[in-house]
Structure 1
């Protein structure tokens, strides 16, 4: 796992910009601290998201949120190097030499692919079996990632609801001027929480997760393509050249 410094810096920059803007306008940072507004927006948003999502998908989406700041360990370059090394090994010692590699793969998907290859599955059958699993895996991850997009959709509306509740509180206390300020603050801060969390946290995390899902699928595509090349007995250099096409850089 690698810390994504850009994501961390982006979140801190966004929060700092909001707080600095508040200070530059002559406001107090304490004005942005409204526990009631926070409970309304975050609780309402999570509740609405849970209502539309099956709990296992919701839970998986919450766990995946860490990917926005700590990138998954599987990267295409590492997988390509591993497959090329396996291709050289099989040319020297045969397909059965990969049998000892099965136990070293922590992911069941990768273990299954190597096991199929060792068991003598032909290239076509190997690709068919593994691509079914890739499709299922991709659908599962993308559903989980969309949990954050859903939260981004609900948060601004819940923020408006918090604002209305705050204004109701204000109207109920028109005879007590000392309590009007707190009610108005809660109303406007709830809107800030809703819009801010949606556009600074939920939506960016959802988009970043989709990027990581695409990379995870790419790693699996590289793995299957590499195994197919090994099964066909392709030259390791040809396998490496083909796999590098997955990570080709766009000139710019």
Structure 2
């Protein structure tokens, strides 16, 4: 099931900001000026790309959808599957698991069980699975870093835009009637810089980090579960061990 916390939170925050602007007598349309928005969003994304590699930038683009509409990985769901595999392995042997792989919808667990059935050495099997876990952590870390960097750059880019606009204001002091509008427009760049950092970029980065934590916890449970199955551990012991590795909120759900 998709978790829309990020999309709902960002949308609600923007709605609250617009509502506050209206209650203060402002017009939402006055905030949407193309030059300051182009400078802040375009400049922020460009310098964020400059701080990494093109591969990082491509991964960041695809990770936006994950942040906004991604599923939250439940570690608790995989526990009964591993326990049933443990029970089958003790009763019928490891080769009996070969026919059960097709019914597993977790690719990482399928990979671990397949390697175990193929007779891969337990230490080597753990090394293979942990290497994949570390690789995932590295990819997720760089995706989140892209948006963390953008959140750091945006306010400064906004200040740059404000200074540029104020320079133009000072160049046109001969027209006092236009000064108020020009100064107000100048500060929009700072507004969008601070707003985009704290309402868009940083929340997306935090969301990606959280999803990565949950997915990596699930992978760690799979690694321990496959190792226990391969060792022929008692299914009850396997269940208790894996449940102890669950996040606290999922342990409470299991207890309930």
Q: TM-score, normalised by structure 1?
A: 0.90
2:213 counterpart of 1:214: yes
Counterpart contact for 1:31–1:185, Cα < 8 Å: no
Counterpart contact for 2:3–2:71, Cα < 8 Å: no
For 1:116, the equivalent position in structure 2 comes to 115
For 1:3, the equivalent position in structure 2 comes to 3
Counterpart contact for 1:76–1:219, Cα < 8 Å: yes
- Which secondary structure state, in structure 1, belongs to the residue aligned with residue 6 of structure 2? helix
Change (3 A) 1:99 1:74: farther
Counterpart contact for 2:6–2:203, Cα < 8 Å: no
Q: TM-score, normalised by structure 2?
A: 0.88
Across the aligned residues of Structure 1 and Structure 2, the Cα RMSD in angstroms comes to 2.3
- The CA distance in 2 between the partners of 1:206 and 1:124, in whole Å, is 35
- The CA distance in 2 between the partners of 1:73 and 1:10, in whole Å, is 16
Instruction: Compute the displacement of 1:181 (Å).
Output: 4.6
Which stretch of the first structure deviates more once superposed, 162-171 or 97-106?
Answer: 97-106
For 2:76, the equivalent position in structure 1 comes to 77
- The CA distance in 2 between the partners of 1:70 and 1:3, in whole Å, is 6
- The CA distance in 2 between the partners of 1:51 and 1:162, in whole Å, is 19
- The CA distance in 1 between the partners of 2:151 and 2:191, in whole Å, is 13
Q: Structure 2, unaligned stretches of length 5 or more?
A: none
Change (3 A) 1:49 1:138: same
2:187 counterpart of 1:188: yes
Counterpart contact for 1:36–1:186, Cα < 8 Å: no
Change (3 A) 1:78 1:96: same
Instruction: Compute the displacement of 1:133 (Å).
Output: 2.0
Q: Structure 1, unaligned stretches of length 5 or more?
A: none
- The CA distance in 1 between the partners of 2:3 and 2:107, in whole Å, is 25
For 1:163, the equivalent position in structure 2 comes to 162
- The CA distance in 2 between the partners of 1:243 and 1:115, in whole Å, is 20
- The Cα offsets for residues 8-56 of structure 1, whole Å up to 9 and x where unpaired, read as 3322221122112212222121211111111000000000000011111
- The CA distance in 2 between the partners of 1:165 and 1:243, in whole Å, is 58
Q: How many residue pairs were aligned?
A: 251
For 1:133, the equivalent position in structure 2 comes to 132
- Which secondary structure state, in structure 1, belongs to the residue aligned with residue 29 of structure 2? helix
- Which secondary structure state, in structure 1, belongs to the residue aligned with residue 76 of structure 2? helix
Counterpart contact for 2:3–2:72, Cα < 8 Å: no
